[in-house]
Structure 1
Amino acid sequence: MPFAQVHHRAVHYQWADHGQPHTLVFINSLGTDLRIWDEVVQRLGTSVNMLRYDKRGHGLSEGTPASQLATGTMDAFTDDLIGLLDVLGIDRCIPVGLSVGGRIALVLADKQPERVERLILCDTAHIIGTLQSWDERIRAVQTLGLEQLSGQVMERWFTPDFGQHNASTVAIFRRMLMACAPADYIRCCEAVRDADLTEQARRIGHPTRCIVGTGDVATPPALVRQLADLITGADYHELEGSGHLPCVDNPARLTTLIADFLHD
């Protein structure tokens, strides 16, 4: 089980070097870990090199000590990824970011454009939510805890139809959410709340593919379309019936969109 020391914290990752010319770096959403990409990775097989990792305080990655806690920023979460890429010697990659992971991908492309070959942005946007909505969520985590909020979060991740027919899968993801370190979950909320990435999106010069589920209530299609319109030359695709986690509820179609983009 591989771990890397990044900024004095243990980061859990999975690195599959298949000797291919392209390297995908999968970046998870808030409250999830690298397992969300399992079915996509399985379908891609050995056709591309792939890196997955858990953000700080998520999955098996070490959280931030209480003595070092500060307001979360997109730069801090992006620097964690940059540090991991440095440790592994990955000089060039294609970030595949979901939700907050897509925002990390955007900041990476803006900070180190030479490191990014192209971008795949899933169910994400330059602005997600409002100051009030994020403050309310942070207060709820502080007072109620993630377990009490998990039902509401599942309703934002999955469509009612998926939840009705895949109760066991939803239960797995509820446990995944509850395993997060609350302090680092809050830091991630703060990072999303405080960062307007409109200008970063406008500066992107990389080939970019934006993807969204038509049933996503967290980052609705209209919002993801706005992001695509900000990025010069970006294309836009909707996954019919998918929610906020298409890698879970429609991995076959998402894998096709990823694989096709590698060769466009």
Structure 2
Amino acid sequence: MTARLSCTWYGIDDVPVDAPVLVLGNSIGTNQGMWAPLIPEFVRRFRVLAVETRGHAGSEVLPGPYTLNELGGDFLAVLDEIGISTFRYAGLSLGGMIGMWLAAHAPQRVERMALVCTSAYLPPATAWIERAETVRSKGTGAIAGTVAGRWFTEGFREREPERVAAAVAMLEATPDEGYAACCEAIAGMDLRPDLSRITADTLVIAGADDPATPPSHAEAIVESVPRARLQIVPDAAHLATLEQPDTVATLITAHLGGAQ
């Protein structure tokens, strides 16, 4: 059963009607606000479609657990409904996992892809199950402090407390069931057997200081995806789009703007 997903278009009045479509996928516990600093750069080249994952923001919250097959299927269903046959894709963390699923299961549709601070396999599953249980019993606010510590470097948290607070507010606004059920999707995920089927030119971006998905996870993806390359961004933890937006926007735009 697919979920109804909330989507927002950016830039459709600013670029030619035949400009490529760029689909954005978000991290668990965030919404399209995690892309906000990059949108002005993206809309110079693309028609941008920000998609909210099942259980997040304005998308339908179905009871969990979820699977990555379901989350990826939701994206394909909404793209079919809108009439988008091919697209370019950028996703961070869970959004990157969904991107890898899309590129492996519908390779003819994903033209180019950027994966940011993500992983194809993120054990131990027990940690994700325990987090899901905590959120269902106590709410997303119970994990906000721990998660913020993984999202940003210490220096950024000290310099930009208002930006950190805004990111935490995204987490706390995420429906408890949606967050918990997506934790269970990550717990059951193992994309490693699928990576060799990805044909899209792929840029894998890692935050040098990311404790959630360290650079070694990006390196493992690059080793298995046939047409992939790695870029490590210094002074960035997990939400690199918010901590180093200019660098990440430049990298993604240069890669996804390439000719087919």
Match of 1:31 in 2: 29
Is the CA contact (8 Å cut-off) linking 2:32 and 2:52 kept in structure 1?
yes
- Which one of the candidate residues 97, 101, 105 is aligned to 1:103? 97
Structure 2 unaligned spans of 5+: none
Report the Cα distance in structure 1 between the residues aligned to 2:53 and 2:125, rounded to whole angstroms: 23
- Which one of the candidate residues 145, 153, 163 is aligned to 2:147? 153
The offset of 1:20, in angstroms, is: 4.2
- After TM superposition, the score normalised by the length of structure 2 is 0.93
Match of 1:179 in 2: 173
Does residue 251 of structure 1 match 2:249?
no
The offset of 1:81, in angstroms, is: 0.7
Is the CA contact (8 Å cut-off) linking 2:202 and 2:227 kept in structure 1?
yes
The offset of 1:124, in angstroms, is: 0.7
Deviations 1:21-52 (A, max 9, x none): 32211100000001111111112233211110
Percent of residue pairs bearing the same amino acid type = 30
Deviations 1:154-182 (A, max 9, x none): 01111111111111111111111011111
Aligned partner letter, 2:38: V
Q: How many residues align?
A: 254
The offset of 1:8, in angstroms, is: 6.0
Report the Cα distance in structure 1 between the residues aligned to 2:169 and 2:227, rounded to whole angstroms: 39
Task: Tell me which stretches of 4 or more aligned residues in structure 1 moved more than 6 Å.
Answer: none
Deviations 1:37-68 (A, max 9, x none): 1111112233211110211221222312xxxx
Match of 2:229 in 1: 235
Match of 1:3 in 2: none
After superposition, the Cα gap between the structure-2 partners of 1:83 and 1:185, relative to the gap in structure 1 and judged at 3 Å, is: same
SS of equivalent to 1:83: helix
Is the CA contact (8 Å cut-off) linking 1:20 and 1:47 kept in structure 2?
no
Structure 1 unaligned spans of 5+: 1-5
- Alignment root-mean-square deviation, CA: 1.5
